[in-house]
A and B are shown apart, each in its own frame.
Chain A
Amino acid sequence: MGAITLEKVTKSFGDVDVIHPLDLRIEDGEFVVFVGPSGCGKSTLLRLIAGLEDTSSGRIVIDGADATDVPPAKRGLAMVFQSYALYPHMTVRKNIAFPMRMAGLDKAEQNRRIEAAAAALNLTDYLDRRPGQLSGGQRQRVAIGRAIVREPAAFLFDEPLSNLDAALRVGMRLEISELHTRLKTTMVYVTHDQVEAMTMADKIVVLSAGRIEQVGSPLDLYREPRNLFVAGFIGSPKMNLLTGAAAAERGATTIGIRPEHIAASPDTGPWRGIVGVSEHLGSDTFFHVRIEGRDEPITVRADGEVSLHHGDTIYLTPDENRIHRFGPDGLRLA
């Protein structure tokens, strides 16, 4: 079991309010991702749930019991840190055994769980090594192993993949997702990478400056961003945001259109522009198009085979059904 409820939780460091009054419900077995730019308070929020920081006010309820003043050791949660935070003086086996040793589990059970975790995480051959002798990916797996064996109510991940190289990151992302499917344990995952958030989450919590901007499934956020911040943050490449005449025509202050919802043509379309930088990814090509009277280029996705060059004239047609309209307060218009 691992349902976590935050009620009016706040956190201040001195005079600085890092988390503004915040309510959130994380269901048992859910994979929840906190995402937001650096300094938005996502890590602090995770540390509040872990108990590594004290709340300034509000309540944290874990499985129906008030855990606000319960020390981290007693909350029954496991955490995986960005820096892995392995014990450098212990072997992999002892690292993984540590939480069980603290819980006073008998040796036979400890060994059973270590073997099982090592087998699942491809660590069997490394059990007698020390963390210093392992690669980054292996260290991260040890950290996950150490979290798994305590059979926690929930796993907390604090940017666990940001120290890994890109290829390894994709692999570990899949491993963590598979782990969630297999264990069905609540996972709370912090990242600044919206791709990680989109690919892994059941539910994404978008944070900015200590406030929740939106909570929803990845597709909810993609299809119906509640405000300009979420619109700009979720999706890669970023949504194009336009003000002025184009927005006024559609009865909005700002309109947003994703690169993948704009059709590009060499001869017809309502918006005429000049091709700037092109990014060829093979499967897709992203054109950065300059439109007269606009400072910011518009990003457009086209087929990988489309051949247009720097300086070519291009005509863009936005998909009217996919245009997001925002009011003067930045909120989505119905």
Chain B
Amino acid sequence: MSSQWGPDAVMDRVRIDAAGMHYTPLNRAIRSAVEEGAREIEIYHVMGQRFIADGLKGDVTLIIHGVPGGDLGMFMSGPTAIVHGNCDHAPGNTMDSGLIVIHGSAGDAVAHSMRGGKVFVRDSIGYRGGIHMKQYRDKCPILVVGGSFRAFLGEYMAGGLILALGPPTNSPIRERGIGSGIHGGRIIIRGDVDDEYLGVGATKSPLSRGEKEEISPLIQEFASCFRIDPDVLLEDSYVQIRPSSSRPFASKYTWE
């Protein structure tokens, strides 16, 4: 594989074999490759190493083969991480900017407290996906899930966008507490959601044609990432879940 690369290309494409490697030396290898100008780092035999690309900055693409452990791309600022496999909990935890693409499923608390960038999960995610995502000025975190999600999607959500594309006919698990405590941002779900599944402080409305047009570039981007047909996704109807108030606790207290 490396034979086709010229000397310059070798400089900016790096391969790391992570078999048996602890996460600290692995991250050190990634950081030093980035410092030396690598634009693409391919990591093989990843088996549960946590914190991959934790706090990593720069314009670099990581291609990860295997199953990363928890907190992939935590505090990450800029890079792209493409995972060929499933992910453990909380990929994109408190991520600042960049892109995580997961060709598989991910565990609980995906995109926890994420404040910018995108996380695309081809298949399903666990509980509390997109919990406490928040946005500020030009930073708007986006979580797109191709399959199903578990309870408390978008709990405490303060900003950003969660898009759940799971096929409505094929039972993307509809569980309770969607948007529980949401006070900013929105959750868009393909098909419909029974009101009984909405969390405290969440309200539901149909997604208008104009609003759907706004998200169609995102649907197309997601579809092209995973080479799936966007047409059926674009044709279907969606609902959006928003906060009923940006001040959910404003009327809870009286002064001493």
B partners with A: no
